[in-house]
Amino acid sequence: MSYKFDFGPEGVTVEGYHKVTNSTLYEENLAYGFTTINKVSAKKRTNESLTGDFCIPFDSTFVADVPNGNYIVTITLGDAFAPTHTSLKTNGEHLVLQNYETVSGQIAREQFGVNVRNGQLKLSFGGLAPRLNSVEMLQTSQQITIYLAGDSTVTDPSEDGFPFSGWGQMLNYYFKHDVVIANHAIGGRSSKSFISEGRLEGILEEIKEGDYLFIQFGHNDQKSDEERFTDPDTTYPEHLKKYIDAARSKKATPVLITSVHRRYYDNDGHIINMHTTYLDAVRKLAEEENVALIDLADRSKQLFEELGEEATKSIFLWGEPGEWRNSSNGIKDNTHFQEQGSLQIAELVVQGIRDLNLMRLTMFLKPTE
């Protein structure tokens, strides 16, 4: 099943496409459109079908009601008369294009994967000169899905949560359209509470043979409340093993990930291990169960010590009063990331995928720049 949209001013619509103009506001009975139109304009440059006209969606979002599942999205963008500059996020605020540029006269075609769980596929545009010529959304069951189970350092942010960002939000950026990210991570959860709330069961309802389950818990397993606390020597690895067994029961591949470090330094500029023996518990379990391990703790330690205490503020949620709209009084958060930081952490995860040679994933990573 596919959904096709032709963007631009009123006029001739290509057969099989829905026409979307700068005044096409989303309505439930229409089932597609821009969520707001005050920053959307439209232009016709040539008589070429699909590429001769476009919408200019400044800081705007286009949505389409579609069945839940995985999609390959093909987007055409460019301008016959002017250079363009576009950034794009999809469902879960997943980054797929960042500062994407075309020169005058160039029409570009890009593809990416999107996982839909709420009956709506969303395209949120930014950039200095965004253009949108056409979009095709093709539902498919052929893509590999990476399911993410984790906490707030992994989760997708809310639409109004900027600049907060989990690394799972950024993982899509590094893959071609053959791989889709289904981020089930949620803030405040431990390996124990994620299961007790039925979230692992929700993944099991969807995950299939050939998919992957990435598992990162630890930040909240240290909390003292009964709902979340696990012991690093006993109940913590016992709960993590439930994720491993669940993935394998569906012939999917589990991947354990050690918790990313917090931003705490000793007097010599070395990262302090705030996760204590939880990190070793993950490493030991990976060896015992013959599970692939991405040691994000070790990788983030190397990165944070290389950057130093001051420079890592650009990774974490640090800001002066007035710097971030959602933290007008300033913020000093040594656990959570801002978007540029989560992009760097996601890159560490991708490096782990390459080093492990997880073949069905590495073959679909975008070329390194």
Q: Is pLDDT at 159 greater than 80 in this prediction? A: no
CATH number at residue 130: 2.60.120.430
- Looking at residue 369, what is its pLDDT? 62
Q: Does residue 43 sit in the same domain as residue 95?
A: yes
In which element (H, E) is residue 32 found? strand 32-34
- Looking at residue 29, what is its pLDDT? 97
- Dihedral angle of Cα 348, 352, 186, 61, to the nearest 10 degrees: 60
Tell me what percent of the chain is helix, strand and coil, each rounded to the nearest 5: 25, 35, 40
Q: Look at strands 40-44 and 179-183 and give their pairing.
A: unpaired
Span 249-278, average pLDDT: 97
Residue 104: inside a domain: yes
Q: Does residue 121 sit in the same domain as residue 163?
A: no
Residue 367: inside a domain: no
Cα–Cα distance for residue pair 82/257, rounded to 1 Å: 45
Q: Does residue 204 sit in the same domain as residue 229?
A: yes
- Looking at residue 319, what is its pLDDT? 83
Residue 124: inside a domain: yes
Q: Which two tokens stand for residue 3?
A: 């959904």
Q: How confident is the model at residue 158 (pLDDT cuts 50, 70, 90)?
A: confident
- Looking at residue 14, what is its pLDDT? 85
Q: Which of 140, 169, 188 is the last residue of a domain?
A: 140
Query: Residue 339, Cβ neighbours under 10 Å: how many?
Result: 18
Q: Does residue 124 sit in the same domain as residue 242?
A: no
Identify whether 323 is a catalytic site residue: no
Q: Which of 140, 159, 193 is the last residue of a domain?
A: 140
Q: Does residue 250 sit in the same domain as residue 338?
A: yes
Residue 294: inside a domain: yes
Helices (DSSP H) in the chain: which residue ranges?
167-170, 191-196, 199-204, 235-249, 278-289, 296-307, 339-356, 359-362
Q: How confident is the model at residue 11 (pLDDT cuts 50, 70, 90)?
A: confident
- What's the whole-model pTM score? 0.95
Q: Does residue 264 sit in the same domain as residue 289?
A: yes
Q: Does residue 159 sit in the same domain as residue 270?
A: yes
CATH number at residue 254: 3.40.50.1110
Residue 199: inside a domain: yes
* Alpha carbon of residue 283 to chain centroid: 25
Span 120-130, average pLDDT: 97
Report the SS3 class of residue 304. helix
Catalytic residue among 101, 227, 309, 320: 320
Span 141-157, average pLDDT: 96
Which residues neighbour 156 within 8 Å (Cβ) at sequence distance 6 or greater? Answer: 92, 93, 94, 166, 168, 169, 183, 185
What percent of the chain shows pLDDT beyond 70? 100
> Residue 147's beta-bridge partner residues?
182, 213
Residue 162: inside a domain: yes
- Looking at residue 353, what is its pLDDT? 98
How many separate domains does the chain show?
2
- Looking at residue 130, what is its pLDDT? 97
Q: Does residue 205 sit in the same domain as residue 259?
A: yes
Identify whether 336 is a catalytic site residue: yes
Span 231-260, average pLDDT: 98
Q: Does residue 171 sit in the same domain as residue 303?
A: yes
Q: Does residue 136 sit in the same domain as residue 185?
A: no
Catalytic residue among 336, 339, 342, 347: 336
Q: Does residue 126 sit in the same domain as residue 242?
A: no
Range of the domain at 220: 144-362
Identify whether 177 is a catalytic site residue: no
Please write the tens of the pLDDT for every residue from 183-223: 999 999 999 999 999 999 999 999 999 999 999 999 999 99
The candidate with the shortest Cα–Cα distance to 21, out of 69, 61, 53, 59, is 53
What percent of the chain shows pLDDT beyond 90? 90
Cα–Cα distance for residue pair 214/345, rounded to 1 Å: 14
Which residue spans within 67-106 are E strands per DSSP? 69-78, 84-90, 94-102
Q: Look at strands 61-65 and 120-129 and give their pairing.
A: antiparallel
Average pLDDT, the chain: 95
Residue 368: inside a domain: no
- Looking at residue 206, what is its pLDDT? 96
Catalytic residue among 60, 152, 300, 327: 152
Span 15-38, average pLDDT: 97
Q: Which two tokens stand for residue 73?
A: 């999205």
Q: Which of 83, 113, 140 is the last residue of a domain?
A: 140
Please write the tens of the pLDDT for every residue from 302-352: 999 999 999 999 999 988 887 777 777 878 889 999 999 999 999 999 999
| Cβ pair 259, 298 in contact under 8 A | no
Q: Does residue 102 sit in the same domain as residue 60?
A: yes
Residue 369: inside a domain: no
